[in-house]
Amino acid sequence: MADIRAAIEAELERLELPGGGNLVSRDMVRALSVEGGVARFVIEAPSPEEARAMEPLRAAAERAVRALPG
């Protein structure tokens, strides 16, 4: 499971945020869990407005994690 978590974090690090950084470096990923081949995580935005603006990034994060083997 540690390998899968590391792979998920590596994928999330590839997604650049407007203004610099990525989801991991800006500490926006919460509650990352992997159970029975299902990964779950929360992207915590600083405000509702920023969360709405980050919707394309959320969708990209979901696609990136779904593309991982396992």
For the stretch 8-45, pLDDT in tens is 999 999 999 988 999 999 999 999 999 988 999 999 99
The number of distinct structural domains making up the chain is: 1
What's the pTM? 0.86
Residue 1: pLDDT over 70: no
Residue 51: pLDDT over 70: yes
Across 3-65, where does the E strand assignment appear? Answer: 29-35, 38-43
13: domain range?
2-66
Residues contacting 65, CB < 8 A, separation 6+: 8, 11, 12, 39, 41
The two three-digit tokens of residue 41, written as one number: 């995580």
